[in-house]
Structures are given as structure tokens and as C-alpha cells.
Amino acid sequence: MPMCSGKLTIQILHQSSNKKSKSGRESCAQLSTVRIVHYTSIYIIGEMILRIFETDRLILETLGEDRFEELAILLANEKVHRFFPKTLNMIESREFLKEIQRRQNEDGFTFWAVILKDDNRFLGICGLLKQTIDEIDEIEVAYRISDEFWGKGYGTEAAEGCIKYAKNELKLKSIISIILKQNIRSIRVSEKNGLKLEKETLFHDQVHQVYRKKL
């Protein structure tokens, strides 16, 4: 099983007592700091959540069952999925979460929950995904932020954090984004983070633009 290696200090949220958080949600009452070598060695045991990294305003962490309802609402949002083939129902959202967890275990990275530091609100998902473009293996930075949080720079900030993670922790040489030409909002996010248009390609039976940044 592939693992991402390298020593670092991380925070892990442990499900414990029924104490309420600032957001009023139960569980995740205890914080501990652990030094590990392999990220996947502690990924989701019960409802243990791995905090991947933080930015000025955001926390990116692995997706667990406690975020499923919020994830399902995001995946059913028609505005968010305007440039996707379809929205997902509850059954499809459950399969989506299982696939995310599988990719985290096998690849060491995937979509992560984007959490606002100030009030622990779930804003959406952002992360790094394995893709094959023109028969070449690539890593894509991708995100989906709920439309109620658009216009605040959260997508740009989360994607920038993922790009830094790809460079500093995964030691990647470049990162891509795969975007439909009509998706001006996502193109702007990519350009703000230094990605440049490289080519057009057929992806999921539609012509997409491939943006790339060398790291």
C-alpha cells in the first residue's frame, strides 16, 4: 500500500466524551499532538480525524462520518456542480465518501474537508487527486466550496495550501487543474495560485483545459 512518508507533527481529533464544541456539535472533545512517520498509519480508526494542514483561516482535515451530512448537502448543490455531469443523491454521496477514504488510505491524499477556524463550519472540500491525462499520471488540485461562501477567497486559500503541501510534503515537481473553459471562477482561482494554461484535452468525454504549475 503506498504511503506518504516524512516526519512531521500533526494534531489528531479523538472522539471521546459528549462535550459540545463551539459549534454545538458533540464529540471530538480531546486534542493530542503526535509525531508520526506515515500519515496513513493513523488515518481514521473509529472516528479519528487527521488534520492535514492549516492556513490563515482554514483547517484541512480528513473526512469522517461526522461530516457526512454536510458533505451530502454540498454534493447535492446544483450551483456548486454547474460544471459537473450531475449532482449526487444520498446513496451516491455515501459511495463518494467511501471512495475518498479509500484514496486516503491507498494514496495518502485525496479530497479533505475545508473547515473555517473561527467557528468550525464546513465550507466544502479541497485536495489532491490522482488523474491520468493523455496517458500520463498527474496530480490535480481540486476543490468544491459551498456557494454561500463564494467570493471570500476560501477556494483560493485552500487550493494554495494543497499546492504547498504537494511541494513540501509530497515532493511533487508540478501540479495541474482540469477545468472546463466555461468555468471562469475556477480558472481565476488557478491563475491566482500561479497555474498557467498548458493545453486542452478530452476528459470524461468533454474538452477541458489543463492548467499547470511547476513546483
- Specify the range with the lowest mean pLDDT, choosing from 47-56, 61-70, 85-94: 47-56
Domain locations in the chain as residue ranges: 5-214
The answer as to CATH 3.40.630.30 being correct for domain 5-214 is yes
Q: Which three cell numbers stand for residue 181?
A: 473553459
Task: Please determine, for residue 16, whether its predicted confidence score (pLDDT) is greater than 90.
Answer: no
Chain centre to alpha carbon of residue 67 = 13
Tens-place pLDDT, residues 157-180 = 999 999 999 999 999 999 999 999
DSSP letter assigned to residue 4 = -
Average pLDDT over residues 25-46: 36
Q: What's the pLDDT score for residue 47?
A: 62
Q: Max alpha carbon distance in the chain (Å)?
A: 52
Looking at per-residue pLDDT, the higher value among 84 and 46 belongs to 84
pLDDT tens digits along 105-156: 999 999 999 999 999 999 999 999 999 999 999 999 999 999 999 999 999 9
SS3 content of the chain, % helix, strand, coil (to 5): 30, 40, 35
Q: Answer whether residue 6 shows pLDDT above 60.
A: no
Predicted local distance difference test score (pLDDT) of residue 46: 55
Better pLDDT: 47 or 24: 47
Could you give the C-alpha distances from 105 to 13, 16, 161, 206, in angstroms and in order?
A: 18, 23, 21, 30
Q: Which residue has the cell 489532491?
A: 128
Mean pLDDT (the chain, rounded):
84
The beta strand positions in 92-195, using DSSP E, are 111-116, 122-133, 136-145, 174-179
If you average pLDDT over each of 10-19, 46-55, 115-124, which comes out highest?
A: 115-124
The three cell numbers locating residue 159: 487550493
pLDDT value, residue 48: 79
Would you tell me how many other CB atoms lie within 10 Å of the CB of residue 200? 11
- Alpha carbon distance 175, 50 (integer Å): 23
